[in-house]
Structure 1
Amino acid sequence: MTRTVTIRPATPADAAAIHAAILAMGEHLGLAHKIDSTPADLARHGLAPGRAFEGLIAEIGGEFAGMCLFFRSFSTWRGCPGIYIQDLYVEPRFRGERVGERLVRRAAAQARDRGAGYLRLAVDADNFAAQGFYERLGIAHYEADRIHAAYGEAFEALASGGKDDQGTT
């Protein structure tokens, strides 16, 4: 039996539930020790005016069932805006009820209505269930793309150490 899933925009009041979901994802992947964010970080940066990201909350019977966090992006090659899904989570007791699919489809539709023409995301290399889920939705893995990142000390060194030919930063 599929129950009614309600999807709504995330608000600052959802910060604790969103953070709990992020911690649960980290636990599932064995990476919870790498999570430094707090509910206050999420409320300040993502659920406030001028936000760095936005989210959708899924509820079943008034209970938190899942969430999808995403942000706007732009492809200079495609010449159009898009979205990048940062996190997608469904509470274990609600899995199998198409909550994740509905969240991804709603995020894509919302982005399309704002003029977006694509959706991107990254999946943990060992998370085969998520990879299969996204492929079933038609979100393909592209061998040609690789994600590169600078975090923590590497980011700080990059940001504070570079000078161009004229000695300016």
Structure 2
Amino acid sequence: MSDAAPAQPVTLRPGRVDDVDTIHAALLKLGEHIDARQEIKSTPDDLRRYGFGKNPAFSTLIAEVDGEFAGLCLHFPIFSTWMGRPGVYVQDLYVEDLFRGRRIGEKLLRRVARECRAAGGVYLRLSVGTNNERAKAFYEKLGIGWSSYEQVRKIVGEPFFAFADVTEEQR
């Protein structure tokens, strides 16, 4: 017979506006974990404004263990014109160090996938930091593989504004 206490169950619930500070703190930790903290420009007010208003740009799923924050999955709906069906994009997946190894990340992803499927969705998409070998192995283990025919591109900040502001007449 083991003397170890049984593991507390993991509870998953939708994020609420009163979780914003916790969500933002988790995003900062995620940034630190992948050596990209300097890339995070968002504030709790940004998350509050864009995630919990009339037309939220994203949703969060929060994992808790005995009422303590254990992780999150921040996601939003997407659509594939090639498949003609909706899907879900996972922007951020984070699990607190204390709770790693308890399959919390997997539980979060599976719940988001189930919710997407219930809404008619047929796929889940995410990006992985190029140097985040642990995450790559984790996703591969779950069957979330690389796309062989696409590569993520982006334009951000001042270059984005300059690009967006050019009118047809200016070209």
Is the structural similarity TM-score above 0.5?
A: yes
Identity across matched positions, percent: 48
Aligned to 2:16: 11
- Structure 1 letter corresponding to 2:164: A
Which residue of the partner structure matches residue 166 of structure 2? 161
Q: 2:114 maps to what in 1?
A: 109
Aligned length: 166
Deviations 1:30-52 (A, max 9, x none): 11112110111111101222100
Q: Counterpart of 1:22?
A: 27
Q: Tell me the amino acid that sits aligned with residue 24 of structure 1.
A: K
Cα distance in 1 between the residues matched to 2:135 and 2:167? 38
Q: 1:95 aligns to what?
A: 100
Provide Cα deviations, 1:99-145, integer angstroms capped at 9, x if missing partner: 10000000000111111111100000100100111111111112321
| Letter paired with 1:98 | R
Which secondary structure state, in structure 1, belongs to the residue aligned with residue 164 of structure 2?
helix
Provide the C-alpha distance between the structure 2 equivalents of 1:65 and 1:85, rounded to a whole number of angstroms: 17
What TM-score do the two structures reach when normalised by structure 1?
0.94
Distance 1:162 1:4 in 2: 55
Q: How does 1:1-169 map to 2 (within 5 A)?
A: 2-163=7-168, 167=169
**Structure 1 residue matching 2:105: 3-state secondary structure:** helix
- In structure 1, what is the Cα distance between the partners aligned to 2:107 and 2:99? 12
Q: Which runs of 5+ in 1 are unaligned?
A: none
1:22 aligned partner, one-letter code? L
Q: What TM-score do the two structures reach when normalised by structure 2?
A: 0.93
Q: Write the distance in 2 (CA, Å) between the matches of 1:105 and 1:48.
A: 26
Does the CA contact (< 8 Å) of 1:3 and 1:97 recur in 2?
Answer: no
Greater than 6 Å deviation, 4+ residue runs: none
- Contact 1:73 / 1:84 at 8 angstroms: preserved in 2? yes
